[in-house]
């Protein structure tokens, strides 16, 4: 790997005796990781049903290492497996899992003893630079259906990928939007209990993972990134509620983008305090991460500033099984009387019957007073009781939102969407067509085995295989045929499910986990897996 000479010179001056093992780490194979989706499964259940050989990642309770080469020799590709398409896990770089995991304690403190059906004020979370969705989906896992998540990505094409990943993971209590941070900060001042800002950076920590980032590196780019990060953080801090938590992270080693930015926050925002980012001791007194380095901040520091920077965490590739990362956790200090607030700046929750303007050009968007007739007909046939089913899927307190022909169920704390570029609003239920309703892929993926049991949908499922099946089983091959878009024979021929499904809409499932929809008629299951997702 041909690392930039100026980068190496700077790192040698920074690391001195640790420089040689640092450079050597770039010549080792990088580590692969995946994270169980706690919205759909528990860590224990995931370990039982997965066909992969996994090793726990110490800083993420739901994260695991896997050996990509070894799995390939066994005929398995974690990135192309039915369980992946069902949203049971997210493939994510191991060190990156350390960022959102910092939110676990904060979210847990709020959610302890509260169910998704509680009428309490939801815990409001913003992932400010969210694409492709690893940290947002991890935050959703930690929320467990409680609270409300806004996932934002400024680049429209990346926002579409973010939206697709959040759909696959089964998110119901959130929206995906595409805006510059300054556009959001004017809309949501002081609104969020938790903000994650994994800021765009010079990418030095990803050199081993993505060699294209090497050619884009320069000292000038490092300085440009540091200034851009400060601009992003100005807006993040403006949107943070009193007492709220801000998690700032980068995947770079550059002090200008790490310790330098932390010092800038401390000196410009005296109400922001740094909390410990290291998860603490593991076996034998070993600490997982290295502290921030005050001597790299570039300026003389007070004792308080020195202690604050030391509370930050650095993940070094020569010390952990992962790439380079930096994490800082801040809390906005507050007075008790400042705590209560609502969505403000035009962002109040929508009311039933209220017209919503401008969220998607060309469509008349409307919060509905009652369910459309087409949805009622579908839900009465499929669910028996559509409203009770949505209470089970989305939690209590949701509204119907109509985007042209597209019907959504939106969370009770969803802000007014007027003027926002919305990529996904809550749970996409499906499309209203003349005289009929066509359920969405998102609705299928929002269902879990437990929900299928609670809603008595066992007779509306076409089981395509067992979850732990390998890459050469008949059941696995049947699931692959579905994922390729093929129609399936369900008349009782070889390879079909033992129990014949009812005519009409059915869930195609793998190990009980929905992959998508089929429509059964006359012994044949028409495939409704989205064309853009089909395997080739």
Token reading at 495: 């390879």
Is cis: bond before 367, omega within 30 of 0? no
Q: Identify the bridge partners of residue 152 per DSSP, sorted by sequence position.
A: 177
Cβ atoms of 443 and 392 closer than 8 Å: no
Distance CA 231, CA 62 (A): 33
* Full 3-state SS string of 358-379: CCCCCCCEEECCCCCHHHHHHH
Closest to 520 (Cα-Cα) out of 453, 449, 463, 435: 463
Token reading at 297: 């901040």
Judging by DSSP bridges, how do beta strands 192-198 and 290-291 pair with one another?
A: unpaired
Cβ atoms of 110 and 193 closer than 8 Å: yes
Token reading at 461: 């499922």
Q: Which of 111, 225, 251, 312 is catalytic?
A: 251
Cβ atoms of 519 and 491 closer than 8 Å: no
- 60 catalytic per annotation: no
Distance CA 247, CA 413 (A): 23
Half-sphere exposure of 171 (CA within 13 A, CB side): 30
Which residues does 17 contact at the CB level (< 8 Å), separation at least 6? none
480 torsion bin: left (phi>0), alpha (psi -120 to 50), beta (else): alpha
Exposed, middle or buried: residue 413 (CB in 10 Å: 0-12, 13-18, 19+)? middle
Could you list the beta-strand ranges (E) of 31-153: 32-36, 54-56, 63-66, 89-91, 124-127, 148-152
Closest to 206 (Cα-Cα) out of 341, 315, 283, 280: 315
Distance CA 430, CA 423 (A): 15
Distance CA 498, CA 474 (A): 14
Token reading at 424: 């996904």
For the sheet containing 427-433, what is the strand order? 355-356, 365-367, 398-403, 406-411, 427-433, 436-439
* Full 3-state SS string of 11-39: HHHHHHHHHHHHHHHCCCCCCEEEEECCC
DSSP 70: H
Cβ atoms of 173 and 151 closer than 8 Å: no
Distance CA 86, CA 444 (A): 9
Residues with catalytic roles: 251
């Amino acid at each position: 790997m041909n690392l930039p000479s100026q980068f190496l010179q700077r790192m040698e001056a920074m690391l001195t005796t640790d420089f040689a093992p640092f450079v050597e780490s770039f010549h080792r194979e990088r580590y692969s990781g995946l994270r169980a989706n706690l919205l759909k499964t528990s860590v224990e259940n995931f370990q039982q049903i997965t066909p992969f050989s996994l090793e726990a990642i110490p800083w993420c309770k739901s994260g695991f290492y896997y050996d990509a080469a070894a799995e390939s020799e066994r005929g398995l590709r974690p990135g192309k497996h039915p369980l992946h398409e069902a949203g049971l896990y997210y493939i994510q770089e191991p060190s990156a899992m350390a960022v959102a995991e910092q939110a676990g304690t904060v979210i847990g403190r709020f959610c302890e003893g509260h169910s998704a059906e509680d009428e309490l004020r939801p815990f409001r979370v913003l992932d400010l630079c969210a694409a492709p969705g690893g940290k947002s989906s991890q935050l959703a896992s930690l929320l467990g259906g409680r609270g409300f998540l806004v996932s934002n990505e400024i680049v429209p094409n990346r926002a579409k990928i973010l939206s697709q990943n959040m759909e696959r993971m089964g998110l119901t209590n959130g929206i995906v939007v595409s805006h510059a941070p300054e556009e959001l900060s004017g809309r949501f001042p002081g609104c969020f209990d938790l903000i994650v800002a994994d800021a765009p950076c010079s990418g030095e920590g990803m050199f081993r993972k993505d060699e294209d980032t090497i050619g884009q590196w320069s000292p000038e780019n490092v300085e440009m990134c540091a200034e851009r990060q400060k601009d992003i953080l100005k807006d993040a801090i403006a949107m943070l509620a009193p007492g709220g938590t801000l998690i700032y992270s980068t995947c770079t080693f550059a002090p200008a983008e790490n310790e330098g930015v932390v010092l800038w926050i401390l000196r410009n925002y005296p109400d922001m305090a740094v909390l410990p980012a290291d998860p603490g001791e593991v076996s034998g007194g070993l600490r997982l991460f290295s502290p921030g380095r005050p001597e790299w901040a570039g300026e003389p520091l007070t004792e308080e500033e020195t202690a604050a920077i030391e509370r930050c965490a650095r993940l070094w590739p020569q010390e952990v099984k992962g790439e380079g990362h930096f994490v800082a956790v801040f809390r906005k200090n507050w007075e008790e009387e400042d705590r209560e607030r609502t969505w403000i700046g035009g962002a109040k929750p929508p009311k039933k019957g209220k017209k919503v303007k401008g969220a998607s050009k060309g469509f008349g968007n409307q919060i509905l007073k009652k369910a459309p007739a087409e949805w009622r007909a579908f839900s009465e046939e499929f669910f028996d009781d559509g409203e009770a089913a949505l209470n089970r899927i989305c939690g209590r307190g949701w509204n119907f939102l109509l985007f042209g022909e597209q019907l959504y169920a939106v969370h009770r704390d969803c802000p007014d969407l007027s003027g926002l570029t919305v990529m996904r609003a809550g749970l996409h239920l499906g499309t209203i067509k003349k005289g009929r309703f066509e359920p969405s892929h998102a609705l299928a993926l929002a269902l879990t085995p437990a929900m299928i049991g609670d809603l008595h949908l066992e007779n509306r499922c076409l089981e395509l295989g067992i979850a732990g099946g390998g890459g050469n089983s008949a059941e696995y091959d049947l699931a692959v045929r579905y994922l390729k878009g093929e129609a399936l024979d369900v008349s009782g021929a070889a390879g079909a499910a033992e129990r014949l499904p009812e005519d009409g809409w059915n869930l195609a499932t793998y190990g009980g986990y929905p992959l998508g929809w089929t429509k059964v008629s006359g012994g044949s299951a028409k495939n409704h897996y989205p064309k853009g997702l089909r395997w080739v």
